Every structure is written in C-alpha cells, then in structure tokens.
Chain A
Amino acid sequence: MDEKTLIAKRVALELMDGDLVNLGIGLPTLVARYVPAGRHVFFQSENGIVGMSGPITGAENHDLTDAGGSPISALPGAASFDSAFSFGLIRGGHLDVTVLGGLQVDREGRLANWMVPGKMVPGMGGAMDLVTGARRVIVAMQHSAKGEPKIVERCALPLTSVRRVDLVVTDLAVIEPTDAGLVLKETAPGVTVEQVIANTGCELIVAPDLRPMPL
C-alpha cells in the first residue's frame, strides 16, 4: 500500500454513519474511496452541493463539478445551493468533518496550509472557513517534505486558523493535538515510535495506549 492510500484509509475510519464531510483538493479526495462498509456519509463540495459523487468520466454535466472543477454527479438525495448557504453550513456548525491537506502543523495543533510567502500564493479559497467552522478538522498529510518535518514547534508559514485541529494522520502516525501537546496515538505498519519522533520537529507525548493503525 502506498503512503497516500494508507493515509486515506486511516482517515476514512474516522467518518461516522450520517456524517456531512468536506474533502479538500488532492490527497483528501482519496478518502471517499475507503469509507467503511455500512456507513453512509454525505459529501459536501463548497461550490454548492451535498450528496456528490467522486470525480466521473462520461456523462459530464457542465453545470456540475467539484470545487476543483472536475465533473461529478449528484447522487440520489443530493441538494444544491448557493455559496452563502454552502459556507453557512461550514461556519454554522452543520459540517461534521473536514479533511484537509497540510503544509505545517505546530505543537499547539494549528494548521498552515494556504500559502508559502514569495513562492506560492494561491489564495485561501474555502480553507480558512473550513478549519474555523467544521466540527472536526482532520489533517491528512505526509509526515515530512523533502526530509524536513512538517510537524513543528511553531508554524513558520501563515496560519489557516488559530483553531486547534482535532487529528493529524500521516504516513507514519496518527497524532492528536491536546491541551498538553501533541499526543502520538498510533504508528503506521512497520514504523517505530523512534522513527516518528526522529521525523517530528517538536515534542510528542506517547499515549499510554499507543497502538498500531487499525488498517
């Protein structure tokens, strides 16, 4: 199993029956493939739909895409609406889970994922509203980038929100930000606690009930 699949499968276990879920662009979109059998999850796309499918080929409708502009379909029971309503769902406490990619997460569990000053200034799109408003925020990302830890003492990159995220799932570990700091809850198959610590840029608290990822 490649790293992205592993992350997506682990995140998918967090989705509960009946949840309304928004998946970010990129790695998070893979999560939709691995929702555990027997759990019905509604996916939202912030451009105005609840009850979307994943990307489709064939039978495309030019009036129906995901937030990345890829054609999707509306599943039976779907609903569409305008952008103010869509972000009302997000900010208003109606969105159960958002899964987003990350550039950095700091020891306080704060996420930076929208710009690299001087290099990449795409704009925040809906990310700031999603991290501020979703009931649960799950960050799905590689543990390090080009050998540099992405989990750090303090984010050097501009924050997406000052809100503490709820869970960080990487190719090495599952980490839960808490009042006391970042708690290492699970390790990926074949990964040791020492390896996780060596690839993390700040202190980790090893959970007493540390376990392997239940994949």
Chain B
Amino acid sequence: MKNKLVSLEEAVARIPDGASLLIGGFMAVGGPNRLVDELIRQGKRDLTIIANDTARPNNGLGKLVVEKLVRRVVTSHIGLNPETQKQMIAGAIEVELVPQGTLAERIRAGGVGLGGVLTPTGVGTTVEEGKRTVEVDGVTYLLEMPIKADFALVSAKQADLYGNLTYALTARNFNPLMAMAGATVIAEAEDILPVGCIPPDAVMTPSILVDHIVTATPR
C-alpha cells in the first residue's frame, strides 16, 4: 500500500488554483490550521471554500480571506471576520450563507450519494428564494442540494498510518462529514500512530476515505 504520510509542502502542492475546498473546524477549533497556513505560503488563488464559518481575521481559514485567496465561500457565519463582510460588500468575494444544520446535511448528502435533503429550516425566509419546496405529510420542506468538493482538508486528533482518524470533543464538528465529500482528502493529525493503535470502535473516519496524512506538529 502506498505511503499516505506526506510532507505539508507536498500535500498542499497537489491543490491547484481555483480548487474547491471543504475545510473542517468551527471558529478554527478542529480546523486544519497548518494546511491553511501552507495554502497561504504557496499562494493558492481563486479558491472556493466551504466551511462552517470564516473564523477571525488572524485565525485559521480567516487568514485565507484576509490574503484575498478566496473567490467564493459557502458558510453559515461570517460575523466574527469583518474582512469577509468587507470583501462581500465590495463584491470581491461571493458569499452563500447557509443555515448551519443545512450546511452539515448538504455536505453529508454529497458524501453519501444522496440527491439532496429536505429540511424545514428556512421555509418562508430569504433562504427559500430560488429553491424548490416539497410537501411531505402536510409539512413543507426545502430541497437543499448536495455539496461535494475537489478536496477536503480535515483536522484529526489521531491518525494511524492507514489514515484511520479520531477527533477530540468539539474539534470533531464538520470534519467527519467533509472527509466523505472531498474527492481527495488530506488529514492533518496531532498524533500519528502505527496501524493497530486505534481500536476499530474508536475510529471515527475509516482510513479508506483518507488520501494523505500530514502532521499537525512540526518536528
């Protein structure tokens, strides 16, 4: 089997300008923050980012926005990154705001081969604009479309050398969902362990989903 453990430089070099990226994390907690820093160092441009939020200007993927490397973002919250709001108002960045639960389910749908999800969230609000509604047992739902991306950049607590992943506490958030919806999955892990060290019941993302592993802690 090929060695999935690669250098940070090598992992990010595989990402072309204009790529779509699912990026894990919630206010940069559980975010692949070394991979993000390397995207900036390599100057990747015109990125489409799908993430829960755009963090803060000096933190996690918020820095990608500040560096003007993002063309489009699909997210639930930009309130703590004034730079995203500024670029959105100036027309420099396209922002699609999605309710957080809907974002999670759209990504999940993309990763598990569903044609969309039906959710009551957003019915009768501005979120409904341009969307189909479906009635089931007298309740109206919005049809929300699946999301996939060229890459998923996820952050794990532990990875074994096959790429089995575990996550810690609230650092899990969107990571396991995104690991299913990226065509290529790059995992940044705090601890990298020999195969067999993570018991099957403890694995949260099975190795078969993960293409490349990088260490979150430079040695």
- Report whether chain A binds chain B: yes
Interface of A toward B, CB cutoff 8 Å: 45-49, 61-65, 67-69, 74, 80-84, 86-87, 90-91, 120-129, 132-133, 158-162
Our pick among B108, B119, B171 for the contact of A91 (Cβ within 8 Å) is: B119
Our pick among A49, A120, A128, A161 for the contact of B170 (Cβ within 8 Å) is: A49
Interface of B toward A, CB cutoff 8 Å: 26-30, 52-53, 75-80, 85, 88, 97, 99-105, 107-108, 119-127, 157, 167-177
Can you report 24 residue pairs joining A to B where beta carbons are below 8 Å apart? A47-B170, A48-B26, A62-B29, A64-B171, A65-B29, A69-B29, A81-B172, A83-B26, A83-B104, A83-B173, A84-B105, A90-B101, A91-B121, A122-B77, A123-B75, A123-B76, A123-B78, A124-B76, A125-B100, A126-B76, A126-B99, A127-B99, A128-B122, A161-B124
Interface of B is mostly: mixed
Contact A61 B120 (CB under 8 A): no
Our pick among A48, A69, A159, A162 for the contact of B27 (Cβ within 8 Å) is: A69
Residues of B within 8 A of A122 (CB): 77-80, 85
Residues of B within 8 A of A132 (CB): 120-123
Residues of A within 8 A of B171 (CB): 62-64
Measured in the bound complex, the distance between the Cα atoms of B122 and A129 in whole Å is 8
Contact B173 A128 (CB under 8 A): no
Residues of B within 8 A of A133 (CB): 101, 120-121
Q: How far is the CB of B108 from chain A (nearest CB, A)?
A: 5
Interface of A is mostly: loop
Contact A128 B79 (CB under 8 A): no
Measured in the bound complex, the distance between the Cα atoms of B105 and A47 in whole Å is 14
Measured in the bound complex, the distance between the Cα atoms of B120 and A86 in whole Å is 16
Q: How far is the CB of B93 from chain A (nearest CB, A)?
A: 13
Contact A121 B120 (CB under 8 A): no
Nearest A residue to B85 via CB reads A121
Residues of B within 8 A of A62 (CB): 29, 171
Residue among A62, A129, A160 having the largest count of chain B Cβ atoms under 10 Å: A129
Q: How far is the CB of B27 from chain A (nearest CB, A)?
A: 4
Measured in the bound complex, the distance between the Cα atoms of B100 and A120 in whole Å is 18
Contact B157 A63 (CB under 8 A): yes
Measured in the bound complex, the distance between the Cα atoms of B123 and A129 in whole Å is 11
Q: How far is the CB of A111 from chain B (nearest CB, A)?
A: 11
Residues of A within 8 A of B174 (CB): 82-83
Measured in the bound complex, the distance between the Cα atoms of B174 and A126 in whole Å is 14
Given A61-B169, A133-B120, A161-B125: A87 and B100 interface contact (C-beta under 8 Å): yes
Residues of B within 8 A of A158 (CB): 125-126
